[in-house]
Amino acid sequence: MTADLAVGDLVEVEVGPVAHGGFCVARHEGRVVFVRHALPGEQVRAQVTEARGGQRFVRADCVEVLTASPRRVPAPCPYAGPGLCGGCDWQHADLTYQRDLKAAVVREQFSRLAGMEVDVVVEPVPGDVDGLGWRTRVEFAVDPSGRAGLREHRSHAVVPIDTCLIADPRVLDTGVLRADWQGHEGVDVVVPSIGAPVTVGLPAQGDDIPVVVERVAGKRFSADFEVSARGFWQVHPGAAATFVDVVLELLAPHPGETALDLYAGVGLFATALATAVGDGGRVVAVESDPEAVASAAANLAAYPSVVAVRGRVDDAFGVPRASRSGPAPRRTQRPRKLRRHPLLPLTADVVVLDPPRTGAGRAVVDQLAQLAPRAIAYVACDPAALARDTAYLRDHGYHLRELRAFDAFPMTHHLECIALFAPGEARASAPVT
């Protein structure tokens, strides 16, 4: 008999393994309970925060620790806890253990979704000391009184705060938490690697959004990039250089080769690839976001070997778009013609794949395999999507050769993985590292 639980119910549970998303798995009278602010092996009292009819699980928050894990530590931030800010998931675990938990999630996702046993260590990003003060881009919500704050977990409710310990101190030095933001839905604060911090009240568009400059100074590649203050850029100051260095190391692009950069953003990897393949090579970069495309045009202007394609990757390959939640299209809407973009190469030597959280998907992977690249570097912000796409790549004879993971978001459940795929026989020895 499965327990019938409702929001607000208190349950005493023994906490099991970590789950994807910053939860741990527990059970109460046959019902799965995903518990936040708990650690594996603990005995806790948890309060149900979300329960929906027909679901086999509920979500809950640990409100009392009865038997603590030896890896539990006091959360450094006063807003990290049940019913408070939803930005951090693991402040109650020591930093090394946080990375162990993230590695366990990667292993579980690969086992469940790709049928593979992988061995992976989550590495700190260079420059990180204690997991605090790293976030250089923060979007604050604004409450009805005009005060900036952060949202509760899985909620639109705004938690008023006086500090944010994972934010770069220069974010708070702007006075964003003391200012009156009446009339704004939110506010972005950006601390670029070059120049002064920038604050943008939301909504904002066009000339209201400044452009900042970010410097990448890696071991294998260095350059400056123009980025919209509302555009995508890695929020950890050491992440961009680290990821470029790893991708270049894994792919080892040669002069004269053809490279493809999918979901190219502002041109970070395309620029590095262009430097590696030289004037005799070719780089095709595909990106759909208008702000990123505008920035990429400026960043790639000095590289004649780069061809920029504006559009979604699935559209560029001429395949059906992956289904997404949202309103159904109107019946009067004309069906979209599927047509491969003429600037996409018919073959490629190396590919960088840096998709959004949903992953590339089977249709894009099918097209990618037809290009017959010798190597694919997959940069993933979601281990579940990476594991699913790993299975699709394996169907085409591309096997995982190397997997690295980085703690680019300390104190949260997020991480970044970089995987190398190459054609040929699967290696008999397991696990893959």
C-alpha closest to that of 154 among 327, 34, 28? 34
Per-residue confidence (pLDDT) for residue 333, from 0 to 100: 54
Return left, alpha or beta for 48; rule: phi > 0 is left, psi -120 to 50 is alpha, else beta: beta
CA-to-CA separations, 295 to 212, 218, 230, in angstroms, rounded: 10, 21, 11
Maximum separation of any 2 CA atoms in the chain, in Å: 68
Q: What is the pLDDT of residue 212?
A: 97
Domain membership of residue 33 (yes or no) is: no
Quick check: is 381 catalytic?
yes
Residue 178 falls within a domain, yes or no? no
- Cα gap 60→30, rounded to integer Å: 15
Domain contains 307? yes
Instruction: Tell me if 109 is assigned to some domain.
Output: no
**287 in a domain, yes or no?**
yes
Q: d(Cα 425, Cα 98) in Å, to the nearest integer?
A: 35
Which residue positions in the chain have pLDDT lower than 50? 325-329, 428-433
Q: What is the pTM of this model?
A: 0.94
**Contact (Cβ atoms closer than 8 angstroms) between residue 300 and residue 267:** yes
For residue 326, the Cα-to-chain-centroid distance in whole angstroms is 22
Q: What pLDDT does residue 326 have?
A: 45
Q: What is the pLDDT of residue 53?
A: 83
Selected catalytic residue, list 24, 62, 381, 417: 381
Residue 185: inside a domain, yes or no? no
Residue 289's domain spans which residues? 212-321+339-423
Domain count, the chain: 1
> In whole angstroms, what is the distance from residue 20 CA to residue 38 CA?
14
User: In this structure, is residue 405 part of a structural domain?
Assistant: yes
CATH number at residue 390: 3.40.50.150
Q: Which two tokens stand for residue 224?
A: 């400056």
Average pLDDT over the chain, rounded to an integer = 94
**Is residue 418 assigned to a domain?**
yes
Supply 187's token pair: 């506010």
